[in-house]
Amino acid sequence: MLKSVKLRDYLISHPAKVRPEDSVMEAMRVIIDNKISGVCVVDDQENLVGILSELDCLKAAVSSLYNDSGVGLVRDHMAADNLVVAHPEEDIIDVAQDMLAKNKRRRPVVENGKLIGQITCRQLLKAIRGFSQ
């Protein structure tokens, strides 16, 4: 049985993150080194300002090769509008259902305006596996 249904108990508390002014090449390094599919983008106060996926990076890299230009900065390629975030006290099943409905693999977790973690499909699977143990 789950010890809790609160997101706080299952989130990744120190998610990989980059800054808007970082190069996409640096973000690609973080994604590759951490074997993840995307990173949270935060400002100097740890406020979430965007999300950059490996697909965003691939699109930027292919475009730079095609246009014979630099790959650019994270701010130029991140998703920044209408970010969907979770609160640490939300129910994991509700979050999982919403992630499925929106076809998203990760969701930043924000408390008092600050990024405190991230929940991913893998974390949700680990939590749900606890139902049968």
Report percent pLDDT > 90 for the chain. Answer: 70
Walk me through the domains of the chain, giving residue ranges and CATH numbers: 7-132 (3.10.580.10)
Average pLDDT of the residues of the chain: 91
CA distance 10 to 60: 32
CA distance 61 to 64: 5
pLDDT digits (tens, 9 = 90+) for 76-111: 999 999 999 999 999 998 999 999 999 988 899 999
Tokens of 131: 């139902």
Residue 1's pLDDT is 45
CA distance 107 to 87: 10
Task: Write the secondary structure of the chain as one string of H (helix), E (strand) and C (coil).
Answer: CCCCCEHHHCCECCCCEECCCCEHHHHHHHHHHHCCCEEEEECCCCEEEEEEEHHHHHHHHHHHHHHCCCCCEHHHCCECCCCCCECCCCEHHHHHHHHHHHCCCEEEEEECCEEEEEEEHHHHHHHHHHHHC
Q: Please, which pLDDT band fits residue 133 given cuts at 50, 70 and 90?
A: low
**Cβ distance 36 to 16 under 8 Å?**
yes
Burial of 75 (0-12, 13-18, 19+ CB in 10 A): middle
